[in-house]
Amino acid sequence: MPDSDSDSSGDLNVLSEDPLCAGVFLSNLDVPVSPTEGHFIRSHFPAPQINSADWSLPITGDVETPINLRYHDLLKMPSHEVVSLMECAGNSRSTMQPPAEGVQWDNGAVSVSRWKGVSVKTVLEQASLKSVATDVLFEGVDTGTEPHSGGPLRYAMSVPIEKLLDPDTLLAYEMNGETLPKDHGYPIRLLVPGWYGMASVKWLSNITVMDHPNGGFHEMDYCIYPATDGKADAKVKRVTSLKVKSLISTPTKGSFVTPGSHKIKGVAWSGDGHITKVEISTDDNRTWRPAKLEQPCGSYSWQHWEYDWEAASLGHSLLRSRATDSKGNVQPMLAQWNFRGYQVNSIHSVPITVRKD
């Protein structure tokens, strides 16, 4: 089995080299599935070099039958595919005011892939959960220090059993029909569709079934620490499912367009239901008109939309898109401020200029 060692950052906007953090260009969102080399990358630590022949994945803890899966075992098990969007919890962080520390993502930490692997459910059934089991800890091989971590640690995150019983939650070994690239978690990564990307642990080393959420550095870091209300300590909540959001892919910010007819295009998604409406404003938030939704690409994917715009007035325009999902969630003008800058789903605003050629 070949190790995947290709540089997968070719079509990306690199924000950090080591660990590699690289986002997509929004003009590349207009595809059903992102090309593998154009899928955003968010690593916490340098990508480990793993030889799949030497690698195995023990599943231990609150199980009746601890097992140790080798790479070949997984490839022979019943496979499952899902087209799933992945978005980094810190995507659009740089647009939050006041700003938060962390990777200063613009809006490019979002992509869609066709993932193939084994349902986590299948593996957990094989190991046979004890009745006390509530959460499962996924640890990566990758190791390093984080700001304020006080020492080296491995990337790790626990996920509630309930989410793991969704057959679309995978131990993934393929991305768009090819072996998982090194930067995306070779040989095996977790894929938790509908959740922010922090849960989709790469380079899996261990799976431990537990009777409680693990906590731990990354799990406590990927939390919403809101502004307190001055009366009681605000509730800290884990970052889990994707907030409703949309992005404009065409035109891109700073574009010059001529007066006349143009198509405004983009994508929208939500982890809490499907997209029911995308509205567009071209007049600085005064009026909103519905965009045309295209056929959905799957329940965990994005939804493309387009809007016919007649650019009548010369000068600067702000194009905005606002998505609504089937639970009635609507993108806000300003996302809720939080200390770590997660879940930023403020309405996307794209400044462009209309001018004659």
Q: Which residues bind a second copy (CB under 8 A)?
A: 95, 97-98, 100, 225-234, 236, 253, 282-284, 286, 312-318, 333-334, 337-339, 346, 349-351, 353-354
Distance CA 276, CA 328 (A): 9
When the beta carbons of 94 and 169 are compared against a second copy, the nearer one is 94
Q: Nearest distance from residue 344's CB to a second copy, in Å?
A: 11
Q: Is the dihedral of CA 75, 79, 81, 84 positive or negative?
A: negative
Query: Nearest distance from residue 131's CB to a second copy, in Å?
Result: 36
Q: Least distance to a second copy from the beta carbon of 155, Å?
A: 24
Shorter beta-carbon distance to a second copy: residue 179 or 353? 353
Cβ nearer to a second copy, comparing 200 with 345? 345
Burial group, residue 181, by CB count within 10 angstroms (0-12, 13-18, 19+): buried
CA dist 335 and 345 (Å) reads 6
Residue 22's alpha-carbon distances to 10, 43, 83, 104, 275, in angstroms, are 10, 9, 21, 11, 27
Please state the closest distance from residue 278 (CB atom) to a second copy, in A: 18
Nearest residue (CB) to a second copy, 5 versus 284:
284
Q: How far is the CB of 95 from a second copy (least distance, A)?
A: 5
* Shortest distance (Å) from residue 240 CB to a second copy: 20
As measured in angstroms, the least distance from the Cβ of 107 to a second copy is 10
- Measured between alpha carbons, how far is 37 from 35 in angstroms, rounded to an integer? 6
Query: 147 with 73: CB under 8 angstroms?
Result: no
The token pair at 68 is 């140790």
Nearer to a second copy, 18 or 283 (CB): 283
292: buried, middle or exposed (CB in 10 Å: 19+, 13-18, 0-12)?
Answer: exposed
Residue nearer to a second copy on the CB measure, 249 or 282: 282
List beta partners, residue 277.
324
CB-CB neighbours of 188 under 10 Å: 26
R_g (Cα) of the chain, nearest Å: 21
Give phi and psi for 68, each to the nearest 5: -135, 100
Nearer to a second copy by Cβ, of 53 and 334: the residue is 334
Q: Which CB sits closer to a second copy, 119 or 249?
A: 249
Q: Which pairs with CB-CB distance under 8 Å and at least 24 residues apart come from 290-297?
A: 291/264, 291/266, 291/321, 297/32, 297/33, 297/83, 297/112
Q: For residue 170, which amino acid is it?
A: L
* Distance in Å, CB of 281 to a second copy, minimum: 9
